Amino acid sequence: MHVDPEIIRLLAFLIGVIAFAALNAAYLVWLERKEAGHIQRRIGPKEVGPFGLLQPLVDGIKLMTKQLIVPAGVDPVLFRIAPILVMVPAIMSFVTIPFSETLVARNLDIGLLAIFAFASVNVLGLLLGAWGSRNKYAVISAARVVSQNVAYEIPMLVTVVTLVMITGTMNLHNIVMQQQGGFWHWNIFNFSASPLMPVAFLIFFVCMLAETNRAPFDMAEAESELVAGAFTEYSGMGFGVFFMGEYANIVIGASMATILFLGGWDCPFGLFPGVHWFLIKMYFLIFTVIWIRWTYPRTTFYGLLNLSWKILIPISFFNLILTSAMLKVF
Amino acid sequence: MIDYLREIISGTWSLFVGLGITIRYFFQPVVTVQYPYQTLPMTPRFRGHIELVKDEETGETRCIVCGMCQKACPSNCITVNGEKREGVKGKVLTEYRLDFTKCSLCGLCVESCTPKAITFSKDYNLAGVRKEAYIFDLKKRLEAKNR
């Protein structure tokens, strides 16, 4: 019997991508709790397994054994479909992320566009779930999430447009290949294109935090005001899938920052490039995301919108104009 | 315009200062005590339930069965019994029963004890499922401790 190697390759990548997303979602919770603990000078989880390493498994089993309550009065379709709408685009985004020169499931020419298209479905999932819950906290949370994401998608996409102008391609593989050969080639230090590139990276990173609803922009589930926001009515694995989707989105965001600004799998000193450098950079960014969560308190909603409309959007537009002028002149 | 930029730069700088503080805490050793495995030494003035003091010379209790603690106790949780024995000066303690379910740890018994025979113990992790578990025989307790 002859089996097309392309099908085997596809299946291997499918399983690999799902396993990578699920494993990350599980162990980022562990990392988050450990890091939060040490920042507060505690230890964090330590009882289940060595260094509490089995904690995510135990948490997962606990969530799976819980009853999936569908409260009376919710929209039965939207309520059930919403967690999947958050999780699936996150996993789909992994398809086009190049982890190393050869390790990529599908090298799309419009990979950048595909990822940002999938990323915006995440908001839709939250909105539908919150609306379908028929819960006032959830609806307030949904309204916040949507206005927050509209506000932060603009500076993020303007920054990405700036970057696409510099690289001239939307193929993630090519974007990384242009940054090979040491950290001075990375886009974050690409001063010949625009002297504001580190600022652009900062804007991208802040927008990434806001897009993934991470603290200090976690308006979606501001516990002190909105119980659990959009997740109020979800129980068991319904909540668990939302939670995993959130962490998978953080991985996507950190991967994008790595690819666009930090040279992907390139070694900072030009030695031994490979998938390990990609993972080191990505996990360092994820570490920073968690570090930020446990440093800053939650902003107010107006503070959050002011930051976007008054600071991030003007600066990113200024950077766009500056970059286009510099590309034209030099 | 200058103010706008200055606010952005100083604001961003303050955020980095905050990150610096938390990362310093991250690398410092933990300060929490892992309770069931580690315990802190109890403070000297901690008031647990009372217990009998061992006399260093005789190895026995210092109690002279005067009954002052029993009289001083506002909740009537102390019962002291003693007997006269041949060849022994004074009374000998046979039973010192403390009903800890009623005790409010006021310490009047400790204050009233002339030979300083009772003191506060440092027992703080008591647990039991029956009321009887908190009726202590302090004489037996002292003997068990001496053994």
- Whether B40 has a pLDDT exceeding 80, the answer reads yes
d(CA A241, CA A25): 10
A-chain residues near B19 (CB < 8 A): 291-292, 295
A40 close contact with B: CB closer than 8 A:
yes
Rounded to two decimals, the pTM is 0.80
- The predicted pLDDT at position A270 comes to 67
Contact, A95 vs A105, CB < 8 A? Answer: yes
State whether B18 and A202 contact (CB < 8 Å): no
Of A46, A296, A311, the CB nearest to B18: A296
- Whether A1 has a pLDDT exceeding 70, the answer reads no
Task: With cut-offs at 50, 70 and 90, classify the pLDDT of residue B31.
Answer: confident
- Whether A262 has a pLDDT exceeding 70, the answer reads yes
Tell me what the mean pLDDT of segment A48-73 comes to.
86
Query: Greater confidence, A239 or A223?
Result: A239
Condensed to tens digits (0 to 9), the pLDDT of residues A186-218 reads 878 777 777 888 888 989 999 888 888 887 888
User: A82-86, A204-208, A270-274, A316-320: which range is least confident on average?
Assistant: A270-274
- The predicted pLDDT at position B17 comes to 93
User: A18-22, A35-39, A70-74, A226-230: which range is least confident on average?
Assistant: A226-230
A-chain residues near B14 (CB < 8 A): none
Task: With cut-offs at 50, 70 and 90, classify the pLDDT of residue B90.
Answer: confident
Q: List, as ranges, residues 283-302 from A with C-beta within 8 Å of B.
A: 291-292, 294-296
Task: With cut-offs at 50, 70 and 90, classify the pLDDT of residue A126.
Answer: confident
Average pLDDT, chain B: 86
- Whether B46 has a pLDDT exceeding 90, the answer reads no
Tell me what the mean pLDDT of segment B133-145 comes to.
83
Residue B19: closest C-alpha in chain A: A295
Residue A35: closest C-alpha in chain B: B26
- The predicted pLDDT at position A130 comes to 86
- The predicted pLDDT at position A134 comes to 84
Task: With cut-offs at 50, 70 and 90, classify the pLDDT of residue B115.
Answer: confident
- Whether B98 has a pLDDT exceeding 80, the answer reads yes
d(CA A84, CA A208): 21
Of A41, A291, A292, the CB nearest to B28: A41
Query: Greater confidence, B145 or A161?
Result: A161
Query: Which phi and psi (to 5°) does residue B117 adopt?
Result: -90, -15
State whether A39 and B29 contact (CB < 8 Å): no
A309 close contact with B: CB closer than 8 A:
no
- The predicted pLDDT at position A175 comes to 85
Tell me what the mean pLDDT of segment A65-70 comes to.
84
A124 close contact with B: CB closer than 8 A:
no
Dihedral Cα B41, B45, B49, B53, nearest 10 deg: 90
- The predicted pLDDT at position A76 comes to 83
DSSP for A67-121, please give it: -----TTS-HHHHHHHHHHHHHHHHHHGGG--SSSS--S---TTHHHHHHHHHHH
B16 close contact with A: CB closer than 8 A:
no
- The predicted pLDDT at position A328 comes to 81
Give the residue from B3, B15, B16 with the most A CB atoms within 10 Å of its CB, the best one to mutate: B15
- The predicted pLDDT at position A75 comes to 84
Tell me what the mean pLDDT of segment B51-79 comes to.
85
Query: Domain extents for chain B?
Result: 50-146
What one-character DSSP code corresponds to residue B55? P
A-chain residues near B31 (CB < 8 A): 41
**Chain A closest-CA separation from residue B18 CA (Å):** 7
Burial class (CB in 10 A: 0-12, 13-18, 19+), A319: buried
Query: Domain extents for chain A?
Result: 74-329
Candidates 3.30.70.3270, 3.40.50.2300, 3.30.565.10, 1.10.260.40; correct CATH number of B50-146? 3.30.70.3270
**Chain A closest-CA separation from residue B40 CA (Å):** 16
- The predicted pLDDT at position A241 comes to 86
